[in-house]
Amino acid sequence: MLTLKENQLDAFFALIEKKRELYLPVEQNTGKSEFKRWAEGDKYSTALRTTRSAKNFFFAKSENLYDIEMNDKKVEVIDTRKDCNDFVIFGVRACDVRSFDVLDNVFLADPVDSYYKNRRDHGLVISMACSKPAATCFCALFDIDATSPNGDIQAWHVDDTYYFDPITEKGDAFVEEFKECFTEADDAPVRKQKEETLNKIEKLPFVKLNLDGFATEEKLTELFDRPEWKDLSEACLGCGTCTYVCPTCQCFDVKDYKVSEGKTKRYRVWDSCMYSNFTKMAAANPRLTQTERFRQRFMHKLVYYPIKNEGMYGCVGCGRCLVSCPVSMNIVKVIKTMGDN
């Protein structure tokens, strides 16, 4: 397997950054890590997870769709799209890599979203296997293997060595381009780490929850009508924390920003089904209370999305909502209740 010593990592990053934009997790002054553009002196953070997910790289939290101008009665639509620069995201965990598949099913479905596709085409994902899973991790519940994290190139960090395994054409081309950085070495340490990690994952509290029937049309209305939604949603503040830290939440709004008289930028921003006006129409709102909005978010991830996407769940078990929810209500508590766990 291709390897790189830890002390060569910064040189590797510098080389990538010469040819591409490089993004990776870096520790912030809060002690938490976030993805950021690599700059000389930045140290790659091996923290298990970033506070925010990596979805922003493909589904930007805010992006201009096009400009639209109006002068007197004339309207003009201006296509402002351009090819984005090639970029590399380093250190993406298996859960976040899976979230890209979840997003692909939405944005690359016909009609293809050209903004998303542009980034997807120009982005290369170097994933990083987990070796110290958190108690709040449950990716294994959704058949994600945290020790084989996928992406274009999957990577492992064992002791002072990084191991790389390209698994797509894009990944092959990349390692070929940067081949002078790597040396071949035996992958026995990787195999050993995988085994140890899988043993740890096995013991995590939420990896074997019952999801029977969740992804089936037969149980859809039954789950929808369960009375427990009311109690589960009782404490929900209706904020968007879970949605915005979630790697798979993909709802958006389209809005206008008036730059000057007659000049408007039409842009899209992340939105949240937890918000009171998400479905509000001029005369009615089908989801009037937080109970309905709360139910929508979880039904969408655990029932609607998998029915529509051959059983793939809309949750990747990253555990971010377990950490960030102000009232400690989260998808695990929902699964436990609704799956009669």
Residues of this chain, 176-215, that bind another protein according to CB under 8 A: 200, 203-206
Scanning 10-18, 132-140, 153-161, 177-185 for contacts with another protein by CB under 8 A, the matching segment is 132-140
Least distance CB 24 / another protein (angstroms)? 17
Least distance CB 125 / another protein (angstroms)? 22
Whether the CB-CB separation of 242 and 297 falls below 8 Å is answered with yes
CA 317 to chain centre: 11
User: Listing from the earlier edge strand, what are the strands of the sheet with 87-92?
Assistant: 33-37, 21-27, 87-92, 123-128, 153-158, 161-166, 2-5, 183-184
- For 116-138, the three-class secondary structure string (H helix, E strand, C coil) is HHHHHHHEEEEEECCCCCCCCCC
- Residue that is written with structure tokens 């995590």 in the block: 204
- Examine residue 39 and tell whether it contacts another protein (CB under 8 A): no
Distant-in-sequence, close-in-space partners of 66: CB < 8 Å, separation ≥ 6 = 77, 78, 79, 80, 81, 266
Q: Which amino acid, one-letter code, is at 135?
A: A
Distant-in-sequence, close-in-space partners of 269: CB < 8 Å, separation ≥ 6 = 61, 62, 252, 253, 255
- With vertex at residue 123, the alpha carbon angle to CA 120 and CA 125, rounded to the nearest 5 degrees, is 110
Scanning 23-31, 149-157, 158-166, 173-181 for contacts with another protein by CB under 8 A, the matching segment is 23-31
- Examine residue 102 and tell whether it contacts another protein (CB under 8 A): no
- Residue that is written with structure tokens 């020790």 in the block: 147
Residue closer to another protein, measured from CB, 20 or 200: 200
Residue closer to another protein, measured from CB, 148 or 216: 216
Please, which of residues 110-129 interact with another protein by CB under 8 A? Answer: 111-115, 117-118
Residue closer to another protein, measured from CB, 165 or 271: 271
Q: Site for another protein (CB under 8 A): which residue of 23, 45, 52, 150?
A: 52
Phi and psi dihedrals of 167, rounded to 5?
-125, 5
- Examine residue 41 and tell whether it contacts another protein (CB under 8 A): no
Least distance CB 12 / another protein (angstroms)? 26
- For 56-77, the three-class secondary structure string (H helix, E strand, C coil) is HHCCCCEEEEEEEEEECCEEEE
Please, which of residues 234-293 interact with another protein by CB under 8 A? Answer: 234-235, 237-241, 243-245, 250-258, 262, 264, 266-273, 275-284, 286-287, 292
Scanning 8-16, 37-45, 78-86, 181-189 for contacts with another protein by CB under 8 A, the matching segment is 78-86
Q: Which of 40, 34, 46 is nearest to 16 (CA)?
A: 40
Q: Site for another protein (CB under 8 A): which residue of 46, 62, 183, 210?
A: 62
Query: Residue 88's beta-bridge partner residues?
Result: 22, 124
Structure tokens at 160: 């002072």
Q: Site for another protein (CB under 8 A): which residue of 11, 19, 28, 179?
A: 28
Please, which of residues 289-328 interact with another protein by CB under 8 A? Answer: 292, 296, 299-300, 303-305, 307-308, 322-324, 326-328
Whether the CB-CB separation of 302 and 335 falls below 8 Å is answered with yes
- Examine residue 46 and tell whether it contacts another protein (CB under 8 A): no
Least distance CB 254 / another protein (angstroms)? 5
- Examine residue 77 and tell whether it contacts another protein (CB under 8 A): yes
Scanning 76-84, 94-102, 160-168, 176-184 for contacts with another protein by CB under 8 A, the matching segment is 76-84
Whether the CB-CB separation of 219 and 153 falls below 8 Å is answered with no
Number of residues that bind another protein (CB under 8 A): 112
- Examine residue 136 and tell whether it contacts another protein (CB under 8 A): yes
Least distance CB 273 / another protein (angstroms)? 6
Q: Site for another protein (CB under 8 A): which residue of 39, 70, 173, 188?
A: 70
Structure tokens at 297: 């978010």
